[in-house]
Amino acid sequence: MTAIIDYDAGNIRSVENAVRYLGHEAVVTADSSRILSADHVILPGVGAFGDAMEKLRSAGLEDTIRQAVKAGIPFLGICLGLQLLFEESEESPGVKGLCLLPGRIRRIPEGDGRKVPQIGWNDLSFPRESRLFRGIPEGSYVYFVHSYYLEAADPADVAARTEYGVRIDAAVEKGNLFACQFHPEKSERTGMRILENFLNL
């Protein structure tokens, strides 16, 4: 069973539908016992960093997330779910993230005709092999919707990058912890393969 963490954020149902489309059982839940008994855990989300952290903390889910990661359950953050895994975000100064990985969330710089937020398809490059992108060719396109991006502190954590005015660390992988800034559930066949790779761990 895949537990999809429910903390009143956007885009949760589309992730649930994608997991079920791939033939896996999915439950949207804020119940710690169900999350910690799951085979896989996904933290999706669209919204503001500060609001999301407040909701996670008020629901008692911050400790649950830490326990799930520490227990070795495969854990995937998507979009805002990636950003929350890190230390802080320029979107919400003074708000501490989950600090499960070192790095900061920066605002995409405007200029050169770039629109912020970035909404649309962009290609990926892979600085190293990763289980999340097994079978995905270099240069594959995925779908982004974001105004902020990850600047990882440890390059060894980065599994995929893209360019949008700046170099963006588009995905990370460390042990049982995985995350994507893009939306695999909206990235057609490539995204379904990425989700399937995660769910088959």
Out of 16, 88, 173, 185, pick the active-site residue: 185
Rounded (5°) CA angle 78-82-84: 125
Specify the 3-state DSSP secondary structure of 58: helix
* List 40, 79, 180, 196, catalytic entry: 79
Contact 84, 101 (CB under 8 A): no
- 180 noted as active-site residue: no
Tokens 């501490």, residue located: 96
Instruction: Write down the catalytic residue from 16, 40, 180, 183.
Output: 183
Of 139, 137, 178, 183, which is closest to residue 159 (Cα–Cα)?
178
Residue 95's nearest CA partner among 76, 110, 80 is: 80
Please, are residues 169 and 150 in contact by the beta-carbon 8 Å criterion?
Answer: yes
Region of 6 on the Ramachandran plot (φ > 0 left; ψ -120 to 50 alpha; else beta)? beta
Active site annotation includes 40? no
d(CA 187, CA 201): 20
151 is catalytic: no
Kindly list the catalytic residues. 79, 183, 185
